[in-house]
Amino acid sequence: MKIVILGSGNVAYHLAKAFKEKNIAVSQIFGRNENDLKEISEKFNIPFSTTELLDADFYLIAVNDDAVATISKQITKENCVVAHTSGSLPKEILEGKFRKASFYPLQTFSKSKELKYSEIPFFVEAENENDLKTLENLASKISENVMKSDYEKRKYIHLTAVFACNFVNHLFARAKEISDSQQIPFQYFLPLIKETTSKINTIDPKLAQTGPAIRNDEKILQLHEALINDEEHLKIYKVMNESIKKMYEL
Amino acid sequence: MKIVILGSGNVAYHLAKAFKEKNIAVSQIFGRNENDLKEISEKFNIPFSTTELLDADFYLIAVNDDAVATISKQITKENCVVAHTSGSLPKEILEGKFRKASFYPLQTFSKSKELKYSEIPFFVEAENENDLKTLENLASKISENVMKSDYEKRKYIHLTAVFACNFVNHLFARAKEISDSQQIPFQYFLPLIKETTSKINTIDPKLAQTGPAIRNDEKILQLHEALINDEEHLKIYKVMNESIKKMYEL
């Protein structure tokens, strides 16, 4: 099967790397950003182009959600499968006469951070059973955790991931602003953060909650509000505490 | 040095366990909740009482913040050190003629979750250099990470911890509500959550941010808002996305 990856961002980079690690040949990496394409091309020994899209059996579109439809139009071939990697788009967003599919890895990708691809859940969807099997087989070479998922389910998977990953990382970034402002090394908090995450492998997060809000400790909540001197921090502080109190009916 | 622990909650439990592991004798565990005291007493072979506080050199108060002052009044001895374990209270909250101190472990404690005590940062504070050294020595037997910290610094450490731990756990709990509502196993998200946390050991969280808000992807943000059918989820969703956009000036 001839594979072409479209895109040169974090997801494209890691998929190219994951295929390379499993000796799955990628015929081309295609996109607009020549510098990023060149980097992937050189690292994983894949030809790249910004102008001529190669003929392939499987085109994997790993670009920002708002660019998926546009880039899909460049694929004029009909007898092939085209999948995007977005959690929040239906496969029908793809524009062309090819067979449409979805190939969604549930993970957060940064180029500079290595990953164990075998642990990443992959959710695949296709127009027919044959294509589905092809995608499942391909994903199974990378990961031990491959599942079928239609768009209805996938969009909720992505929404959950936004809460459990994107927002969590933002809390880390905001927390670091507070510790930085007091010359407290953020490193002090890494064991706490590690434990907070490790805990939920064995305890339901609802049962693992600690902190002043679940103790309904108004004095500490007021002290913290007085310490906070940033509007965004205060908004987050209030909304999160209110939400904790509501969850436990305090 | 004769040590008595006051309290029988998560922190008292783990401190008793940590002392036991290092063969540091605890003379008594004292408090109100007989069942919890009994559990700690039996597990770590420490006598307990709900009525008669033993004579000691060091009293360690590990109770909820709003109970610290009250329970400290029961210590009538003068020539001794009394420390509380709160991140958000000054040592002066303690009421008595003894020498006041703080012994703050920066970690989230659940009885059912085992911990590596050696990794936990301990922040200690005392009235004089001698007591400070005693507390530093004691904490150093448990942890490799013992620091001095006054109340001004400690309260910001605790505030940072609320963002980086308590709120993060609450996001996990809210995320699980979403996945539960769609019969999506929360287990799928554990590799993502692990990676989100692991990432910030090597990348500044501000640089590690991913997701629709930092891409300023209004279509996905609107899709998600339409999917959310819970008022608290929606409030969190909006505040976090607004905060992300402000941080990156989008």
Claim to verify: residue B17 and residue B130 sit in the same structural domain: yes
Structurally, chain A folds into a number of domains equal to: 2
Q: For residue B53, which of B78, B80, B76, B24 has the smallest C-alpha distance?
A: B76
* Domain, as residue range, for A229: 155-247
> Where residue B69 sits, what CATH number does that domain have?
3.40.50.720
Q: For residue A101, which of A66, A131, A122 has the smallest C-alpha distance?
A: A131
Q: Measured between CB atoms, which of B166, B192, B199 is closest to A113? A: B199
Q: Starting from the edge strand earliest in sequence, which strands make up the sheet with A28-30, in order?
A: A48-49, A28-30, A3-6, A58-61, A81-84, A99-105, A122-126, A146-148
Claim to verify: residue A140 and residue A228 sit in the same structural domain: no
Within 13 Å and on the Cβ side, how many CA atoms surround B25? 6
Contact A169 B205 (CB under 8 A): yes
Q: Chain B: nearest CA to A233, how far in angstroms?
A: 8
Claim to verify: residue B172 and residue B133 sit in the same structural domain: no
Claim to verify: residue B203 and residue B127 sit in the same structural domain: no
Hey, of B200, B218, B224, which one would you mutate to test binding to chain A, going by the most A CBs within 10 A of its CB? B200
Hey, of B162, B176, B203, B245, which one would you mutate to test binding to chain A, going by the most A CBs within 10 A of its CB? B162
* Cβ neighbours of residue A183 closer than 8 Å, sequence gap 6 or more: none
Residues across chain A: 250
Q: Measured between CB atoms, which of A161, A168, A192 is closest to B107? A: A192
Q: What is the pLDDT along chain A (250 residues), one digit of tens a residue?
A: 999 999 999 999 999 999 999 999 999 999 999 999 999 999 999 999 999 999 999 999 999 998 999 999 999 999 999 999 999 999 999 999 999 999 999 999 989 889 999 999 999 999 999 999 999 999 999 999 999 999 999 999 999 999 999 999 999 999 999 999 999 999 999 999 999 999 999 999 999 999 999 999 999 999 999 999 999 999 999 999 999 999 999 9
Q: Is the Cα dihedral B161, B162, B164, B165 positive or negative?
A: positive
Give me B42's structure tokens.
Answer: 């039996």
| Kind plus residue range of the DSSP H or E element containing A173 | helix A167-181
Last-in-domain residue among B111, B129, B149: B149
Last-in-domain residue among A149, A165, A190: A149
> Where residue A167 sits, what CATH number does that domain have?
1.10.1040.20
Give me A247's structure tokens.
Answer: 């969850």
**Residue type present at position A39:** E
Claim to verify: residue B28 and residue B122 sit in the same structural domain: yes
Last-in-domain residue among B119, B149, B179: B149
Buried b (16+ CB within 10 A) or exposed e, B13-32: bbbbbbbbeeeeebbbbbbe
Q: Measured between CB atoms, which of A65, A195, A212 is closest to B162? A: A212
Claim to verify: residue B115 and residue B134 sit in the same structural domain: yes
Q: Measured between CB atoms, which of A191, A201, A212 is closest to B119? A: A191
Q: For residue B22, which of B148, B138, B147 has the smallest C-alpha distance?
A: B138
Q: What is the 3-state secondary structure (H, E, C) of B106-163?
A: CCCCCCCCCCCHHHCCEEEEECCHHHHHHHHHHHHHHCCCEEECCHHHHHHHHHHHHH
Cβ neighbours of B119 in A, within 8 Å: 191
Q: Is A216 on the interface with B (CB under 8 A)?
A: no
Claim to verify: residue A196 and residue A72 sit in the same structural domain: no
